[in-house]
Amino acid sequence: MASVRGGEITLYIDLGGLHILSSFSLGGSPTKAKVLVLGPISSVSADRSRSLNLEHVSSADMIKQEISRQTLIGFRASQALDRGCLVPDQTMLSIMRRWFWTRKPDAGFVLADFPATLLQGQVFEEWLDTRGVTLTACAIGDEALVSVAVLDHFRTHGVAICDVETLFAA
């Protein structure tokens, strides 16, 4: 259940017994918003994020780029995927580290499908802290694919939690 008033979003989520009440706003400058999307993001929501001039980054797209560029990291990711496994944390962190540290710190973004594990979430939080960056919101893509541990990590660190449709409808 969600309500939107004057750009302020109030959301109640029941995620498998985890109840979340969250309020937030994309602020006066949505182009500076920094949003995580836990789980995949729909093409409609991705298009909406681009219309707000937010960089849309998908960990799946980043993996595909590394594989197509035939890098060592891409080879490691490809091996895991060929075995039907998830890309290991260290490989995923190596892929995402390059994006994070080469982007402009004040530019807004929508980052989908990352972090997927608690370790990735903790490392990402360290990167944010090191750069002095604060997340605007953490959106839930597909609830079935969201790690409750990752969600709880960001919730307990004071990050506003919402669902993707509500976030990009505002």
Structural domain contains residue 112? yes
Look at residue 6 and tell me whether its pLDDT is greater than 80.
Answer: no
pLDDT computed for residue 50 by the predictor: 66
The CATH code of the domain that includes 128 is 3.40.50
pLDDT computed for residue 160 by the predictor: 74
Q: What is the mean pLDDT of the chain?
A: 78
Structural domain contains residue 113? yes
Averaged over 111-127, what is the pLDDT? Answer: 93
Structural domain contains residue 84? no
Structural domain contains residue 85? no
pLDDT computed for residue 29 by the predictor: 55
pLDDT computed for residue 155 by the predictor: 81
Split into its structural domains, the chain has a count of: 1
pLDDT computed for residue 170 by the predictor: 52
Q: Of 16 and 159, which is predicted with more confidence?
A: 159
State percent of the chain over pLDDT 90.
37
Q: Of 5 and 95, which is predicted with more confidence?
A: 95
Domain containing residue 120: 2-57+106-169
Structural domain contains residue 72? no
Which one, of 118, 130, 127, lies nearest residue 154 by Cα?
118
> Model's pTM, two decimal places?
0.75
